[in-house]
Chains A and B, each alone.
Chain A
Amino acid sequence: MSDKFAYLSSVERSRTYLIKGLQTVQAHDGYISDAAIEAIAAYFSVPPVDVEGVVSFYAQFKRTRPGKYKVAVCDGTACHIKGSISILEWVGTELGIKPGQTDRDGLFSLETVACLGCCSLAPVMSINGKVYGKLDRKGTVKILKEYRKNG
């Protein structure tokens, strides 16, 4: 295993912890690279295709590098009813990207999620895990502009 993934040694080396291993890598690198797949396969002694299979099954795992700010617009039921589609549209226009994409500067990436558990504040989005509720167009754009300003 290359030194780059030496931190994996903090995860118990048993198949049960494969997902934990992937989560650890993603927390570290922001995504699961091809090299990470190989390294994890070696670490847990499973074929790379098995690792790839697990990665592709779970929505959490990303195979492309996300932006510095990960914007997740909730499209869970409550948020959908409360107009998350418009929020998504507005965020997309402001950032110039579609869900699943990262902008050219690598500053923002956009995705949708199904419920952050803050449904009573719908519609909501999160940026790097910080949740913003009761969104409207103005508020949403303002929040994004703030992040852009801070760079």
Chain B
Amino acid sequence: MAEIRKIKVGTASCGLAAGAGAVLDFFRDHAGVEIEEVGCIGHCYAEPLVEVVTDAGSVFYRDVKGEQACLDNILALGETGRLEVSPSRRKYEMLKVTRLAGRICPTSFDAYVAEGGYGALKKALTMTAAEVVDEVKRSGLRGRGGGGFPTGMKWQFLAAKQAEKKILICNADEGDPGAFMDRSMMESVPHQVLEGMLIGAYATGADILFIYCRAEYPLAIKHIRIAIDQIREHGLDVVNGKKLDIIIKEGAGAFVCGEETALIASLEGRRGTPRFRPPFPTDRGWNDYPTSLNNVETFANIPLVIGEGGAAFAQVGTEKSKGTKLFALAGDLKYPGLIEVPMGTTIGEIVFEVGGADPDQVKAVQTGGPSGGCIPKELFDTPVDYDSLNALGAIMGSGGMIVIGTDRCMVETARYFLDFTHRESCGKCTFCRVGMMRMYETLERIVAGKGEMSDIDFLADLGPKIKKGSLCGLGQTAPNPVLATLRYYKNEYIEHVRDKRCAALVCNALVDVKLDPEKCVKCRLCIRNCAVGAISDDFVIDNAKCTRCNTCIDVCPKHAVARVEKGEGYYAE
């Protein structure tokens, strides 16, 4: 049998949430081999995950438990519980930016260096600053935070500024609920993000580096903090002959603070309200100093760009979108997790081949989060690149990709996004503040079965006006989920309004709950668990009392209780 060298336990947030902490403790006490903590390899569906490193290569185990039987199986390199990566996933994935994610200890400086880390920084320091900027331009790298602005150009603007101080900010706000690429990178390979920032500081002449990270990511903040201390210890924070100020700041829970001018306001200790551009941050940014912002993933690409050279980097991807892209896959699919594919891979390849979703069970995919739009299955041969997605009225966004199954209601989904965005509007622009509220109320009415046909036209009319009448990207994109669902799923809106019917049986106001006496075994579990006493002793559900909380459906061992269309259930007076 192959000899075991060490066991790596994935302890990124996703792993810990699945119970990796207990695995780590148990293995440390009982395994008798070296145990190493690593980040996330992207196969989050299989957490807790461990990698057994042997002299004959690595074996991965999934759904690991901190129990003797599980450990014994792993130490014997047993066949059960191994992580099988499908050949189709292997075919489409291309691990470049995430090459080290989950493979090395995130808090070890030496581990990163042993894998060639900080080699790109060293190389950059032998070039002139202008050469570094040129290399980034040659790579065709575009911002991964959503806008897709060419990174080299942004850096050139900042480099050209003469000022007492220049600021470079890493946008780690990752506000799109359902996206976790940036979290994973910061938790798993924090040094790669910092290396990108240091190269950026050299190229642009920045003096202060900020990392603005959302507070919901405590582990990412911790790892970045440790990494900053380590680069200080090794003197890597001295660039262009001056010591850089590297400051990590925690966000405080506001989606709009991902927008660059709002983020800067927040960094100044103010309400995160966006402002009109121009002046652009490169002209007037943090405390009026010239400032440039880039996303976490953008920075994580920089060591690759410099390491392999811009021209080599540009070999991957499409004509206008270069390199690879990380996507956070979640929702109704078999293998939720983090993936990296070349730009230009089609949505279908990502969702079906990599994500393992069942084509018969998928209705659409939402890209770009609340600023994005849904893409129906019929259009899944669209390649993911900035321009193709824009053409569909969706956006690439930062890389959140939520698969929406056939049993979901698109009207409810649109309502959900509007619920989010109307609350996140900072209130500065009237169209965004009031218009979004009106759209939200209209959608609430429709899902409550109180909509009128004119409401549908109202939504279609108001959406574009909000987009035009808003200053920042929030208002300019927030109507997208509604407009996109109206475009592709108007029939669902019409059903809700005209027929008072939710075909997916999701909208509470349009469904009843019914118990099928044929299947019922009279175990009384439903009666005992009903919080409002809506189920009678002879097993009839009173829909007048029922709150549609799904508890009875969940507890019934015989699946005798189900949601049915409104009017099919029983109502006591």
User: A residues touching B (Cβ–Cβ < 8 Å)?
Assistant: 14-20, 22-23, 44, 53-54, 57-61, 75-78, 80-83, 86, 89-90, 93, 113-122, 124, 129, 131-134, 136-137
Contact = CB atoms under 8 A, between A and B. Distances in A.
Given A58-B252, A58-B254, A115 B179 contact: yes
Nearest to B215: A60
Contacts of A22: 252
B336 to A, nearest CB: 4
Interface in B163-200: 174, 176-180, 183-184
Given A136-B554, A137-B555, A19 B269 contact: yes
A115 B330 CA distance: 12
A119 B328 contact: yes
A115 B251 CA distance: 14
A93 B426 CA distance: 33
Given A78-B331, A89-B551, A134-B18, 5 more contacts: A16-B267, A81-B331, A81-B408, A86-B554, A137-B555
A23 B215 contact: yes
B369 A77 contact: yes
Contact of A89 (B267, B426, B550): B550
A57 B423 CA distance: 11
Contacts of B266: 19
Most buried by B among A17, A80, A90, A137: A80
B518 to A, nearest CB: 24
Contacts of A133: 14, 17-18
B26 to A, nearest CB: 18
A14 B255 CA distance: 24
B249 A20 contact: yes
Contacts of A122: 330-331, 336
Contact of A93 (B44, B218, B549): B549
B269 A16 contact: yes
Contact of B272 (A14, A20, A57): A57
Nearest to A137: B554
Contacts of B216: 113, 115-117
A114 B14 contact: no
Given A119-B178, A120-B336, A77 B416 contact: yes
Contact of B330 (A17, A18, A57, A119): A119
Contacts of B408: 81
Q: Which 9 pairs, one residue from A and one from B, show the smallest C-beta to C-beta distance?
A: A76-B177, A120-B44, A77-B178, A18-B269, A58-B252, A59-B253, A115-B177, A78-B330, A120-B336
A136 B183 CA distance: 25
A15 B287 CA distance: 11
13 contacts: A20-B249, A57-B254, A75-B177, A81-B404, A86-B549, A86-B550, A90-B551, A113-B253, A118-B44, A119-B178, A120-B328, A120-B336, A134-B18
Nearest to B266: A19
B217 interface: yes
B303 interface: no
B476 interface: no
Contacts of A116: 13, 17, 216
Given A54-B269, A80-B416, A90-B549, A114 B255 contact: yes
B522 interface: no
B329 interface: yes
A12 B337 CA distance: 39
Contact of A53 (B174, B271, B555): B271
Contacts of A114: 177, 255, 420
B252 A137 contact: no
A95 B16 CA distance: 25
Interface in B337-371: 337-338, 366, 369-370
Given A59-B253, A78-B402, A124-B17, A89 B330 contact: no
B249 A132 contact: no
B101 to A, nearest CB: 14
Contact of A120 (B14, B218, B250, B270): B14
B37 interface: no
Nearest to B254: A58
Nearest to B269: A18
Contacts of B420: 114
Contact of A59 (B18, B254, B287, B551): B254
B22 to A, nearest CB: 12
Contact of A81 (B174, B255, B402): B402
